[in-house]
Structure 1
Amino acid sequence: MNNNEKSLESYRSLLLLSEIAGEEPLSQRELSRRLGIAVGLVNSYLKNLVAKGYVRVKNFPRNRYAYLLTPQGLAEKSRLAYQHLSYFTSLYTVARQDYLDLFRRLEAAGVQEVAFCGVDEVAEVAHLSLRETEVRLVTVMDDAHAGSDFFGAQVVSLLEGVKKSGLPVIISSLKRRDQLVGMLGEMGVPATRIFVAGAAG
C-alpha cells in the first residue's frame, strides 16, 4: 500500500469516526451514502475499527444496529484529525498545482469549456485553479449533490450532465475518483474525455 492509499484509508477512518460520533444512530447503508463509498467497504472499515476497540456495536430491535465511539475511538478521532490537518495542507498544495497544470494543458490544446464530476472539498480547490485560466466551468455533476449550487452553477445528476454536455469531464473528487471514472465509463463517456488531475498525459 503506497502513502496515498494509506492517507486515504486513514482519512476514511476519520470520516467514519466523525459520522459515528454524531447523535443519530446510522446504518451501514446510511454511512455508505454519506461517505460516497460502497457498503462493503464501510463494513470492512467498521470491522477493523471494532477490532481495534474504537467502535462498539449496539443492537436495536428488528436486526438494526448502531455504531458508537468508545473513549479510545474518541482519542483516535482526535489523533487522525490532527494528522490530517497536515495531510490536507499538503493535499491542498498538490491538488491546486495538479489541477492548474491540467487546466493549462487543456487551455493550450484549445479547450474553452469543461464539466466537473464530483463535488467535495477537492472540487473547490479545482475551481480555484480553474479561475487562473481562461477555461470556463459549464456543467457540474454529482448524483449526491444534484440540485445544489456550486459557485453559481446548479449541480445536476451524472446522467443529465453526460447527456447535455460533450465537454471534457474533470474528475473533481479525490475520495470518489475511481468510482466516478467507472460510472462515467458505464454511461458511455469515452476515456479520452475523462481527465484526472495529477495523471500523466
Structure 2
Amino acid sequence: MNTTPQRDEERVLELLQAVERRSDVTQRHLARQMGVALGLANSYLKRCIRKGLIKISEAPANRYLYYLTPKGFSEKSRLTAKYLAASFAFYRSAGESCARALKECEARGQQRVLLCGVSDLAEVAALRALEMDIDIVGVFDPRTERRRFLGKPVWRNLSEALPFDVCLLTDTQADRGVYEQLLQTFGNNGVKVPDILRL
C-alpha cells in the first residue's frame, strides 16, 4: 500500500535512526536494519551524506564513523512526525472501515468471523470486534509461519479453521484475484471486505 516516495522516506528515517543509535554502524548492519540489499543501503547513505544529513569520519582499521548533523536531526524529527501522522490516519480510517464491515456482519447475524490475512488491518478489525457482538475465531493466512495472532489460532489451510459465518479480508497485500478466490469458495454472503482495501 506504500507509495514509492513514502517507502523512500521510511528508509531514510530508518537509516537516520540507526546512525543516531550507533555511530560505528557498518553498511551491512544498515542494510539489515533497513531490510534492503547492501548496495541500496550504500546508495541511501551516500544520498544522506550529500544532503548534509550525515557526517562521515575515518576511524582506525579502515572503518568509518557516521554522525547525524543538526540538519540530520531536524530531518529525522520531521520524518518521524510525518510517519506518526500517516500511521494515525491509517489506524483511524482502518478502524472506521472495519467497524462498518463488522456491523454489516452483525446485522446479518454473522457473529463468528474468520480474518483472512495477518496484518495491521487484522489487528484493527480484532479491536473493533471487541465493541460488537462479534467473535473472531482466528486468522487464515497461507503465507505466514505464525501459529497464533492476537491470542487467536492462525491456520495455513482453510480446512483446519474453526467453524465461521463469514470471512473478513484483512490481507493488505491482497489483489482482486485473492478476493475473487474467496468469493468462489464462500459466495457473496460469505466474504466481507473493508472498503479501505478498495477491492
Say yes or no: TM over 0.5. yes
Aligned partners of 1:116, 1:123: CA distance in 2, in Å?
8
CA contact (8 A) 1:115 1:137 kept: yes
- Corresponding residue SS for 2:169: strand
C-alpha deviation, 1:9, in angstroms: 4.9
2:31 maps to what in 1?
28
- Identical columns (%): 19
1:1-201 alignment to 2 at 5 Å? 5=3, 6-7=5-6, 9-11=8-10, 13-15=12-14, 17-18=16-17, 21-23=20-22, 25=26, 26=29, 28=31, 31-32=34-35, 39=36, 47-48=43-44, 50-53=46-49, 54=53, 70-71=68-69, 72-111=71-110, 112-120=112-120, 122-140=121-139, 141=141, 146-147=146-147, 150-154=149-153, 156=154, 160-162=156-158, 164-165=160-161, 168-171=167-170, 177-178=172-173, 181=174, 185=178, 190-192=181-183, 193=191, 195-200=193-198
CA contact (8 A) 1:46 1:55 kept: no
Aligned partners of 2:146, 2:100: CA distance in 1, in Å?
28
C-alpha deviation, 1:21, in angstroms: 4.7
2:60 maps to what in 1?
none
- Corresponding residue SS for 2:114: strand
CA contact (8 A) 2:169 2:193 kept: yes
C-alpha deviation, 1:138, in angstroms: 1.7
C-alpha deviation, 1:80, in angstroms: 1.0
Aligned partners of 1:123, 1:195: CA distance in 2, in Å?
12
C-alpha deviation, 1:44, in angstroms: 5.3
Q: TM-score, normalised by structure 1?
A: 0.57
CA contact (8 A) 1:92 1:125 kept: yes
Larger radius of gyration: 2
CA contact (8 A) 2:117 2:170 kept: yes
CA contact (8 A) 2:118 2:149 kept: no
CA contact (8 A) 2:101 2:192 kept: no
Aligned partners of 2:66, 2:90: CA distance in 1, in Å?
30
C-alpha deviation, 1:46, in angstroms: 6.3
Q: Over aligned residues, Cα RMSD in angstroms?
A: 4.5
**Distance change in 2, residues 1:83/1:146 (3 Å):** same
Q: Which letter does structure 2 place at the counterpart of 1:47? A: S
Q: TM-score, normalised by structure 2?
A: 0.57
CA contact (8 A) 2:15 2:30 kept: no
After superposition, the C-alpha distances for 1:69-124 in whole angstroms (9 at most, x for unaligned) are 6434443222111223333333332221111112223334553322242244x543
Aligned partners of 1:108, 1:198: CA distance in 2, in Å?
20
Q: Which letter does structure 2 place at the counterpart of 1:76? A: E
Unaligned runs of 5+ in 2: 58-63, 184-190
Aligned partners of 1:75, 1:98: CA distance in 2, in Å?
35
